[in-house]
Amino acid sequence: MERLYKKNELFFALMWIAVYVIGISTADGLSEEIGILKVITLPVALVLSFFLYGWIRKNKLQQYYGLRPVASTDYRKYLYFLPLIVLSTANLWNGVVFEQSFLDSVLFIICMLFIGFLEEVIFRGFLFKALSRKSVRSAMLISSVTFGMGHIVNLLNGADFLPTLLQIGYATAIGFLFTVLFMKTKSLWPGILAHAVINATSLFAVEGDGSVQLISSLVMVVLSVGYALYLLMFLPEK
């Protein structure tokens, strides 16, 4: 891995995106066949997470890839991350439902913690950092759109078209926000934690009809982009 990383950082990032998408999608399919939610996906996500963290730590890349505390302790500048906290509750705006068994719920929530870690490290860490060597603006755009478009794989897992289309839209906006957060705080942890909570609470979401989904998605987009623009405009680069 070290040789590939040093030779071409962008190809290294794209390789990990492919490994992640194929590995998690395959594991989700096997879990569905077994009939226990995330029973295969959780071990796969756990192994990938520990492997990536171990590789990053071994090569002393924690600072570079944002596996470090937030650079500033003046949380007033970040509005105490309140917009991020509100965004993390988005799946519960239309109500809460408990349809899964206790085992399925526990497996799903734990799995989403590792999924949040993996996606932030791969998309905001590996991909963004590789692209930003040439242009930070292009890196912000490409990494955000790539993250959003990655959710199209949900169609292959049986998701409906409209919810998937809306998810691509607000995931792109959230990806943009998480990228800006990484740039400003020098840490992936705010994005990792918010990402994990958003994913975990999706299990208890009430979808609502098409108009409700559209309104919720638009609010998420406006909140994400608005907070990101605030951070870009009012917080100086470190």
Model pLDDT, residue 200: 96
Structure tokens at 15: 């390789």
How far is the C-alpha of 182 from the C-alpha of 131, rounded, in Å?
14
Burial class (CB in 10 A: 0-12, 13-18, 19+), 190: buried
pLDDT exceeds 70 at position 238: no
- Here the contacts of 48-57 (C-beta below 8 Å, separation 24 or greater) are 48/19, 48/20, 48/23, 48/114, 48/118, 49/114, 49/117, 49/118, 52/16, 52/118, 52/121, 52/122, 53/117, 53/121, 55/1, 56/121
Three-state SS string across 157-173, please? Answer: HCCCHHHHHHHHHHHHH
Least confident of 30-44, 92-106, 114-128, 137-151: 137-151
**What's the number of CA atoms in the CB half-sphere (13 Å) around residue 179?**
30
Compute the half-sphere exposure of residue 69: CA atoms within 13 Å on the CB side of its CA.
Answer: 5
Low-confidence winner among 71-80, 109-118, 196-205 (lowest mean pLDDT):
71-80
pTM: 0.93
pLDDT the model gives residue 158: 66
pLDDT band, very low/low/confident/very high, at 212 (cuts 50, 70, 90) = confident
Give the pair of three-digit tokens for residue 62: 């924690």
Q: Quick one: pLDDT at residue 157?
A: 63
* Residue 147 near residue 116 (C-beta atoms within 8 A): no
Residues 6+ apart with CB under 8 A from 184: 71, 78, 231, 232, 235, 237, 238
pLDDT at 219 over 90: yes
- What is the mean predicted confidence (pLDDT) over 33-59? 97
Q: What are phi and psi of 205, to 5 degrees?
A: -80, 145
Q: Please check the confidence at residue 126 and state whether its pLDDT lies above 90.
A: yes
Task: Sketch the domain layout of the chain as residue ranges.
Answer: 2-234
